[in-house]
Structure 1
Amino acid sequence: MLNSYEDWSPLKEVVVGTARNYTSHERELSFELFFHDNLAADNPVRSEWYYPRLSPAGARPVARSGRQPIKERYVAELIEDLEGIAKTLESLSVTVHRPMDIDAATSKVQTPAWEASVVPPLNVRDNTLILGDEIIETPPMIRSRYFETQFLKPIFQRYFEQGARWTVMPRPMMTDVSFDLSYARDNTIGGPTEPIGDPQTSPYDVGFEMMFDGAQCLRLGRDVVVNISTRNHAMACDWLERHLQGRFRIHRVHQLSDSHIDSMVLALRPGTLLVRSEAVADKLPEPLRKWDRVVAPPPETNNFPHYADDDLILTSPFIDLNVLSADPETVLVNDACPELMRTLDRHGFTVVPVRHRHRRLFGGGFHCFTLDTVREGGAEDYLS
């Protein structure tokens, strides 16, 4: 039975993502907005923002393709590492589920408003939020991932047949006008070569829409901390508050990061947080500021592979803070991060080292690549 309220109680069942037939990144507005901090800061050769203009599906393109190939070697090694993650979890007596693979013949997704290349269900934490006995499919923030949860449907359907609730949040049209550009416009390091304050119009414009990822949430029993950086996020949080009223309490934090919270702060067990820096505490709800904080050590340069200028870096060097807890004492950590492993060991955790080489190219760590569906914990009150 589906049961997952937090990220630390003994893990019983989990979904591990897949990368098969991952061929390219579609560099269009939604992709650039989502990854803008690292695209601007961490790629030595860049044209600032690609931002190819939106063209309605079936229309003649008005800009060059923004599709950027990914080297096959990196995908092959990522697949090897995903298999290693799955086997490690199975060795800890966790049942592992895998999404359907994308068929090699499926090269794009298309709606009435746009089309984009398709990506596999790799970072499965993003487009689904598990709260207790409910699956909530969240409204995607990247066009290439619009139908990503369809590849998890066999898994979700089995949980539904066992009694789980299954909800899909409203799906956005995702035209250019749908996006609140203020965060990127005010915070990006490089900035666009083309003004983003004047997005391309579409016959399907409806104004700002809810767009939101499950990885923007820190689950704490009956409490959920939600990171909000745009009006898109705020609208989705409004929906969550109304939908969850009486069952969960929502706590908003503002611009803790551009979107995801799980490379800034993770709860390792009741009373203990793993944080990027002490400054994170200033943005957390007051009860969480009283918890003990394990501060992740600064990442070392030699923790990461060296890449060519044409390899697109998507995450910050702090991506390895993105650990996965198997229980309140056991944490899966990237084996390329001895400093973090030693830090967690000093705080009494049992560290399980697991290989994950190309996390900066594929936008996720162990927490991103997994979706815990069954844990032993319940709707406890950890904040009162």
Structure 2
Amino acid sequence: MKQRYVAELNEDLHGLVDALTSLGVTVHRPTDVDPATVEVRTPAWSASVVPPLNIRDNTLIAGNEIIETSPMIRSRFFETQLLKPVFQEYFRRGARWSTMPRPLMTDASFDLSYARASTAGGPMEPIEDPRASCYDVGHEMLFDAAQCLRLGRDIVANIATRNHALGVDWLERHLEGRFRIHRVHRLSDSHIDSMVLALRPGTLLCRSEAVVDLLPERLRKWDVIVPPAPEAQGFPRYEDDDLILTSPYIDLNVLSVSPEVVLVNEACPELMRTLERHGFTVVPVRHRHRRLFGGGFHCFTLDTVREGGPEDYLG
């Protein structure tokens, strides 16, 4: 990864912070990774360290509760540790704080059937030749928060593997009586926030009409915005395409700051015009290397406090 791309990513992140601050949003930043910390190690394996960039992936906010989900990639095993100062302060102020069981993450932990049967990429540990381990317990719950669409008292959860199903089992039991969990199957390989997003109550942004058919019945009655297909000229070109982590649909990964205001990549004029025609105020923000770093504005942010209460949209 060229240092120039990293420097430009940091410039764009500062621009995102400035845009949010200008809209009255309080912005917290995760702790930086110490440069001396280059490896994650457990009794079963070791991996390199990923910085806390796509912070929505491993934490689910459910009402007044912070839930650290069960990571699917070894290099992200301790990523939520870098959010601890923020979570600790919320806990002092009365928030609940829970953690899904931490997986052993041996080769046998991963249900590789979806990755082997699909051409889709996604956040799956690349295991070409699974090896037995004395720590094996079979398939474990491995479930990212970015597999969820939160709608007031309802959570839509995407399941593509047995790992995901176990994670949703835990989530249902843990949140029973407080939230309703709606299972959708193979909406994507894992994360769904470049497939479907709720822009405001009653309006969804979907990659295609086919996505709508996989949603819970009540959601199919919402207004659906299907944006124009992404165009190749909207993305930087790289010498090594192997670095690219996401599909061209990554720019659907917008962030709704309020029911009226949406942050959109400034490189997407057609998407901005589409949203404006539907009555949204669009705030353009620069994000150049989203396909290299695997996330958009929704991935990069974790909204912890919103105005209003837990509405019942699907009851």
Q: Which has the higher contact order (CA 8 A, sep 6+)?
A: 1
CA distance in 1 between counterparts of 2:116 and 2:131 reads 16
- 1:163, distance to aligned residue in structure 2 (A): 0.1
Does residue 1:230 correspond to 2:153, yes or no? no
Aligned position for 1:262: 193
The aligned runs of 1:1-384 (5 Å cut-off) are 70-188=1-119, 199-309=130-240, 312-384=243-315
CA distance in 2 between counterparts of 1:308 and 1:196 reads 26
- 1:188, distance to aligned residue in structure 2 (A): 2.5
Q: Secondary structure at the match of 2:138?
A: coil
CA distance in 1 between counterparts of 2:241 and 2:214 reads 36
CA distance in 1 between counterparts of 2:127 and 2:68 reads 29
Q: Secondary structure at the match of 1:375?
A: coil
| 1:107-165 C-alpha deviation (Å, 9 max, x unpaired) | 11100011011011000000000011000000100100000000000000000000000
CA distance in 2 between counterparts of 1:163 and 1:107 reads 34
Q: Secondary structure at the match of 1:136?
A: strand
- 1:309, distance to aligned residue in structure 2 (A): 2.0
Letter aligned with residue 355 of structure 1: R
Letter aligned with residue 119 of structure 1: V
CA contact (8 A) 1:181 1:197 kept: no
- 1:198, distance to aligned residue in structure 2 (A): 6.0
- 1:266, distance to aligned residue in structure 2 (A): 0.2
Letter aligned with residue 252 of structure 1: R
CA contact (8 A) 2:196 2:206 kept: yes
CA contact (8 A) 2:107 2:127 kept: no
Q: Secondary structure at the match of 2:158?
A: strand
Distance 1:330 1:196, change over 3 A: closer
CA contact (8 A) 2:120 2:189 kept: no
Q: Secondary structure at the match of 2:182?
A: strand
- Structure 1 alignment gaps of length 5 or more: 1-69
Letter aligned with residue 41 of structure 2: Q
CA distance in 2 between counterparts of 1:189 and 1:143 reads 20
CA distance in 2 between counterparts of 1:352 and 1:380 reads 26
CA distance in 1 between counterparts of 2:250 and 2:16 reads 16
CA distance in 2 between counterparts of 1:163 and 1:189 reads 41
- 1:296, distance to aligned residue in structure 2 (A): 1.6
CA distance in 1 between counterparts of 2:120 and 2:69 reads 28
Q: Aligned-residue CA RMSD in angstroms?
A: 1.4
| Corresponding residue pairs, total | 311
- 1:197, distance to aligned residue in structure 2 (A): 8.4
Letter aligned with residue 81 of structure 2: Q
- 1:377, distance to aligned residue in structure 2 (A): 2.8
- 1:71, distance to aligned residue in structure 2 (A): 1.2
Letter aligned with residue 106 of structure 2: T
CA distance in 1 between counterparts of 2:173 and 2:162 reads 17
| 1:308-339 C-alpha deviation (Å, 9 max, x unpaired) | 12651100000000000110010000000011
Distance 1:355 1:198, change over 3 A: closer
- Structure 2 alignment gaps of length 5 or more: none
- 1:199, distance to aligned residue in structure 2 (A): 1.5
Q: Secondary structure at the match of 1:371?
A: coil
CA contact (8 A) 1:311 1:361 kept: no
CA contact (8 A) 1:276 1:296 kept: yes
CA distance in 1 between counterparts of 2:252 and 2:127 reads 32
Letter aligned with residue 104 of structure 1: P
CA distance in 2 between counterparts of 1:188 and 1:92 reads 40
- 1:355, distance to aligned residue in structure 2 (A): 0.3
